[in-house]
């Protein structure tokens, strides 16, 4: 498939109803989500626990498009095959999660998934420079990972700009994650992000019985971002 840098909205199911993941995934896709963002947390790399490969496998049949799996776990390598077998299209690992991110990205591609590399707010843009030939996606965390509903960290915008310049014409997505809403999405898009993760801002006010709210929320983020996306 050819690379496509068009703007993508990736709702995070961290803000969905955990008792209803299948229907929630179907609802956000029907309401305009481009990718379904799945936040895996281990209570060790980040101070919160969500779910693992079994949940990813269970929701896979409910997702028509891209299952975008963000691993906030350490170690990563022992679990890559399990997430690939669960049907992850993208598997993103953090540079801070271990000493061998290069090997991790190789293993992700080796398992047949697109490889993403994530950096926390305290990690400089230069950390991804040696990895760009190994990566299909760079995820710039715009909050400290672990919880939904946090405030966007504006100091990450310079980093997005720096990474956008580093990437040039390479077929690599720049994803932002944390505190993205209709106010901050245009800032991230202007700085060069093309894949916007949003949890609270997509799911707020809606439910599987009120899915149109998701549609309105997604549209508000997309339209705001398209106003500045180049
Ligand atoms: C943070 C997660 C995010 C989070 C975003 O640790 O990686 O995906 O769910 O949530 P909001 O959009 O509510 O900041
Ligand atoms: Zn995430």
Check: CB of residue 71 under 8 Å from CB of residue 94: yes
Q: pTM for this one?
A: 0.98
Rounded to the nearest angstrom, the distance between the alpha carbon of 113 and the centre of ligand 2 is: 17
Give the E-state strand segments of the chain in sequence order. 8-11, 35-41, 66-72, 90-94, 114-119, 137-141, 173-177, 195-198
Rounded to the nearest angstrom, the distance between the alpha carbon of 210 and the centre of ligand 2 is: 24
In whole angstroms, what is the distance from residue 95 CA to residue 213 CA? 35
For residue 177, indicate whether it is catalytic.
yes
The active-site residue out of 39, 42, 89, 181 is 39
- Reported as a single tens digit per residue, the pLDDT across 67-106 is 999 999 999 999 999 999 999 999 999 999 999 999 999 9
- The CA-based dihedral angle spanning residues 28, 31, 35, 39, taken in that order and rounded to the nearest 10 degrees: -20
For the domain made up of 10-226, the CATH class stated in words is alpha beta
Write the CB contacts of 126 (distance below 8 Å, at least 6 apart in sequence).
Answer: none
Please identify, by atom number, the ligand 1 atom nearest to the C-alpha of residue 198: 12
Question: In this predicted structure, what is the pLDDT of residue 2?
Answer: 85
Judged against a pLDDT cut of 80, whether residue 48 lies above it is answered with yes
Pocket test for ligand 1, best of 14, 175, 193 (most atoms within 8 A of CB): 14
- Reported as a single tens digit per residue, the pLDDT across 181-205 is 999 999 999 999 999 999 999 999 9
Tell me the β-bridge partners of 43. Answer: none
CA distances from 25 to 30, 61, 145, 225 (A): 9, 10, 22, 23
In whole angstroms, what is the distance from residue 7 CA to residue 25 CA? 19
Rounded to the nearest angstrom, the distance between the alpha carbon of 124 and the centre of ligand 2 is: 18
User: What mean pLDDT, rounded, does the chain reach?
Assistant: 98
pLDDT over 70, % of the chain: 100
For the chain, which residues make up each domain, given as ranges?
10-226
- Provide residues with CB under 6 Å of ligand 1: 12, 14-15, 37, 39, 70, 143, 145-150, 177-180, 197-201
Strands across the sheet containing 8-11:
8-11, 195-198, 173-177, 137-141, 114-119, 90-94, 66-72, 35-41
How much is the average pLDDT of 38-55?
98
Work out the pLDDT band at 147, boundaries 50, 70, 90: very high
């Amino acid at each position: 498939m050819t690379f496509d840098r068009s703007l993508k909205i990736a709702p995070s199911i961290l803000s969905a109803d955990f008792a209803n993941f299948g229907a929630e995934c179907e609802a956000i896709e029907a309401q305009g989500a481009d990718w379904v963002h799945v936040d895996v947390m281990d209570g060790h790399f980040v101070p919160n626990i969500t779910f693992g490969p079994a949940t990813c496998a269970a929701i896979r049949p409910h997702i028509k498009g891209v299952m975008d799996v963000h691993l906030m776990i350490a170690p990563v390598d022992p679990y890559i095959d399990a997430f690939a077998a669960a049907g992850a299209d993208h598997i993103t690992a953090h540079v801070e999660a271990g000493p061998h991110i290069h090997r991790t990205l190789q293993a992700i591609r080796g398992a047949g998934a697109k490889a993403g590399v994530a950096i926390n707010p305290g990690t400089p843009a230069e950390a991804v420079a040696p990895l760009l030939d190994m990566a299909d996606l760079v995820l710039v965390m715009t909050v400290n990972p672990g919880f939904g509903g946090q405030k966007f960290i504006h100091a990450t915008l310079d980093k997005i700009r720096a990474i956008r310049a580093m990437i040039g014409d390479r077929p690599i997505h720049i994803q932002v994650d944390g505190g993205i809403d209709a106010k901050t999405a245009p800032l991230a898009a202007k700085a060069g992000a093309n894949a916007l993760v949003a949890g609270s801002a997509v799911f707020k006010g809606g439910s599987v019985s009120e899915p149109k709210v998701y549609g309105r929320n997604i549209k508000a983020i997309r339209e705001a971002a398209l106003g500045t996306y180049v």
